[in-house]
A and B are shown apart, each in its own frame.
Chain A
Amino acid sequence: MNDLSASSRIAYQATLVQPGVVRRIRGLSDKALAWLFITPTIVLLLAINIFPLVWTIYLSFTNYRANRANVPIKWLGIDWYQSILTDPDIWAAMQVTAHFVIWTVIIETVLGFGLAFLIDKKFRGHGLWTTIILLPMMLSPAVVGNFWTFLYHPQIGLFNYVVAFFTGRDASSFQMLGDVTLSPWAIVIVDAWMWTPYVMLICLAGLRSIPDYIYEAAEVDRASKWRQFWSITLPMALPFIMLAVLFRGIENFKMFDMVNLLTGGGPGSTTEVASITLKRAAFESWRTGYSSAFAIILFVTVFGLANIYVKALNRVKSR
Chain B
Amino acid sequence: MISANTAHSVVEPSPGTRRFAGSLVILYAVITMIPLVWLGLTSFKSPDDAISYPPKVLFEPSLEGYCNLFTTRSRQTPEFIQTLGPAQGLCDSITRDRNMVVAGPSNYVPRFINSLIIAFGSTVLAVALGTLSAYGFSRFRVPLKDDLLFFILSTRMMPPIAVAIPIYLMYRSIGLSDTRLGMILLYTSVNVSLAVWLLKGFIDEIPREYEEAAMIDGYTRFQAFVKVVLPQATTGIAATAIFCLIFAWNEYAFAVLLTSGNAQTAPPFIPIIIGEGGQDWPAVAAGTTLFLVPIVVFTVLLRKHLLRGITFGAVRK
Tell me the A residues contacting B by CB distance below 8 Å.
4, 7-8, 11-12, 15, 26, 29-31, 33-38, 40-42, 44-45, 47-53, 55-56, 59, 66, 111, 115, 118-119, 121-126, 129-144, 146-148, 150-151, 155-158, 161, 171, 193, 196-198, 201-202, 204-205, 208-209, 212, 215-216, 219, 240, 243, 247, 250, 253-254, 256-257, 260-261, 274-275, 278-279, 282-283, 288, 291-292, 295-296, 298-299, 302-303, 305-306, 310, 313, 316-317
Q: Who on chain A is nearest to B12 by CB?
A: A122
Distance in angstroms between the alpha carbons of A296 and B186 in the assembled complex: 19
Which chain A positions have C-beta within 8 A of B65? Answer: none
Distance in angstroms between the alpha carbons of A139 and B33 in the assembled complex: 13
Q: Who on chain A is nearest to B54 by CB?
A: A161
On whether the beta carbons of A135 and B299 are closer than 8 Å, the reply is: yes
Q: Who on chain A is nearest to B243 by CB?
A: A138
Q: Who on chain B is nearest to A164 by CB?
A: B54
Q: Who on chain B is nearest to A150 by CB?
A: B281
On whether the beta carbons of A316 and B315 are closer than 8 Å, the reply is: yes
Contact flags B245-258 to A (C-beta < 8 A → 1, else 0): 01001111100110
Taking residues whose C-beta sits less than 8 angstroms from the other chain, chain B's interface range is: 35 or more
Q: Who on chain B is nearest to A301 by CB?
A: B159
Question: A119-B25, A140-B292 given as contacts; is B218 within 8 A of A15 (CB)?
Answer: yes
CB distance from B173 to the nearest CB of A (A): 9
Question: A121-B18, A129-B26, A161-B53 given as contacts; is B220 within 8 A of A37 (CB)?
Answer: no
Which chain B positions have C-beta within 8 A of A138? Answer: 246, 295-296, 298-299
Indicate which residue in A33, A133, A137 contacts B140 across the interface (CB closer than 8 Å): A33
Is B19 close to A, CB under 8 A?
A: yes
On whether the beta carbons of B10 and A155 are closer than 8 Å, the reply is: no
On whether the beta carbons of B136 and A171 are closer than 8 Å, the reply is: no
Q: How many A-B residue pairs have CB under 8 A?
A: 316
Distance in angstroms between the alpha carbons of A205 and B314 in the assembled complex: 11
Distance in angstroms between the alpha carbons of A292 and B312 in the assembled complex: 28
Indicate which residue in B35, B152, B167, B281 contacts A48 across the interface (CB closer than 8 Å): B167
Question: A8-B220, A140-B249 given as contacts; is B133 within 8 A of A171 (CB)?
Answer: no
Which chain A positions have C-beta within 8 A of B132? Answer: 36-38, 40-41
On whether the beta carbons of A216 and B221 are closer than 8 Å, the reply is: no
Which chain B positions have C-beta within 8 A of A35? Answer: 136
Q: Who on chain A is nearest to B10 by CB?
A: A219
On whether the beta carbons of A49 and B158 are closer than 8 Å, the reply is: yes
Give the dominant DSSP class at B's interface. helix
Is B188 close to A, CB under 8 A?
A: yes
Give the dominant DSSP class at A's interface. helix
Is B24 close to A, CB under 8 A?
A: yes
Tell me the B residues contacting A by CB distance below 8 Å.
10-11, 13, 17-19, 21-22, 24-26, 28-29, 32-36, 38-39, 42, 50-55, 129-130, 132-133, 135-137, 139-142, 148, 150-155, 157-170, 172, 185-186, 188-189, 192-193, 196, 215, 218, 220-223, 246, 249-253, 256-257, 266-268, 270-271, 279, 281, 284-285, 288, 291-292, 295-296, 298-300, 303, 306-307, 310-312, 314-315, 317
List the 5 shortest-distance A-B pairs measured between CB atoms, nearest first.
A123-B22, A142-B252, A52-B166, A295-B162, A34-B140
Indicate which residue in A47, A133, A295 contacts B25 across the interface (CB closer than 8 Å): A133
Question: A33-B222, A298-B159 given as contacts; is B165 within 8 A of A123 (CB)?
Answer: no
On whether the beta carbons of B162 and A122 are closer than 8 Å, the reply is: no
CB distance from A17 to the nearest CB of B (A): 13
Q: 24 A-B pairs, CB-CB below 8 angstroms?
A: A8-B223, A26-B215, A31-B140, A40-B129, A40-B133, A45-B151, A118-B21, A121-B22, A136-B36, A138-B299, A139-B250, A140-B267, A140-B295, A141-B252, A143-B271, A144-B292, A147-B284, A158-B34, A201-B310, A202-B315, A254-B159, A256-B252, A299-B158, A306-B154
Distance in angstroms between the alpha carbons of A137 and B310 in the assembled complex: 10
Distance in angstroms between the alpha carbons of A260 and B255 in the assembled complex: 13
Known: A41-B152, A44-B129, A45-B193. 18 other contacts (CB 8 A): A12-B223, A41-B132, A48-B186, A51-B170, A56-B166, A121-B13, A121-B17, A133-B28, A134-B306, A136-B35, A143-B271, A144-B288, A147-B285, A148-B35, A208-B317, A283-B257, A292-B165, A295-B159
Question: A193-B32, A205-B307 given as contacts; is B159 within 8 A of A278 (CB)?
Answer: yes
Which chain B positions have C-beta within 8 A of A317? Answer: 314
On whether the beta carbons of B162 and A44 are closer than 8 Å, the reply is: no
On whether the beta carbons of A306 and B153 are closer than 8 Å, the reply is: yes
